[in-house]
Structure 1
Amino acid sequence: MTNEQFQNLLRFFKALADESRLKILGILANQEYSVEELAVLLQLKEPTISHHLAKLKELKLVSMRPDGNAHLYQLDIRELQSISQEIFTQERIASLVKDVNTEAWENKVLHTYIEGDIQATEVIQRLKEIPTSRKKRLVVLKWIANKFDLGVSYQENTVDEILQRYYHDSSTLKRELVNSPFMEKESGAYRRLPVLDFPMDADRVQTTGEG
């Protein structure tokens, strides 16, 4: 999302962060009204209604047409649909955090549960304990799974040997990795799955199963 789009989104939410403006949109969604009519319906002064309508017109959410000496306003449904299609998509909303370090929370979890510097490559860090929180456990399992190479099949004794470098209970780690989206076991061989950058979803971790 560009900075201009981001600012437009801010203006959109600021304009609608008002009870009267939301009510005006609701009323105009049914039919067109004049400033005088809206003032009576909402029990507000006409200048106040005009101010709210000006804010909504800036976003092109309402349109106006002359009717004799008055002006009639109505909701511009096409503009509303256009805004919805342009801004309110998963990709657009996700792009709001492009300048945010989304790994900060994961790094905090790792610093809590891993002994030593997690960035160091010359020494092996040890896992203090397996988190009881499912979401935090996913972070740790993701870190452990990254110790295995993609496209390589590992026999069980090799998996145990690698896991024991990082934690004394390799059986539990092995079971958790298989029950998570990070590793699979097939025909006695273990393989890392290419999903290490997926969103941390606590509901995807199972706590039972065979290792």
Structure 2
Amino acid sequence: MTDLPDDNTLTHKGLDPAQKGRVLVLACGALAREILAITKGNGFDHIDLQCLPAILHNHPERIVPAVTKAVDQHRDHYDTIFLAYADCGTGGQLQAAAEQLGITMLAGPHCYAFFEGTDGFVARAGEEFTAFYLTDFLVRQFDAFVWEPLGLDRHPQLRDTYFGHYEKLVYQAQTDDPSLTALAMDAAARLGLPFERRFTGYGDLHTALSEFRSGP
């Protein structure tokens, strides 16, 4: 697959977005590769993708204003806007905003849940509340989104303060990529955690996008 920009602010253009029946997926930049793989792999040429920066997850209070602005910007050009975010730390505010804006969104608390399948993930939550999860995106961006924001590049002695209560690192693999598995194993070693890999594929994300498989 072609590499994507690191800032994850991209638009995947298909046909004329003014054409009746077109769908805009407004998504977290952490899902860009996965959404493009699903839409391209299934011939969903009627679906366009607009991503907001993944770094918003470090400031969840900024997600709702950013989503609202993007919906207002694109509303007149699409029959349907689908929000490819879960709650993502907004405490229900994103769901409330989606309802007010008249758009639908992914169900679930976060991407870890919908990649595995939200129902199953929630059912296991009581047994795995001490697991630290990584997705393909977070494996690629481990330093930028985990190691450096927590200051572990400057103060490695803080590792056990942050991660001492975790019992394992679970890598939820969307793709079967040995190089990513190796990076995930390295991340687990750096955090001092036992490693587990689960191949999830695209989970509920694929199911949700398939609801829009009929184009104009």
Pick the TM interval, shorter chain.
Answer: under 0.3
TM-score w.r.t. the length of structure 1 is 0.24
Greater Cα radius of gyration, structure 1 or 2: 1
Q: Which has the higher helix share?
A: 1
Q: Which has the higher contact order (CA 8 A, sep 6+)?
A: 2
- What's the TM-score, normalizing by structure 2? 0.24
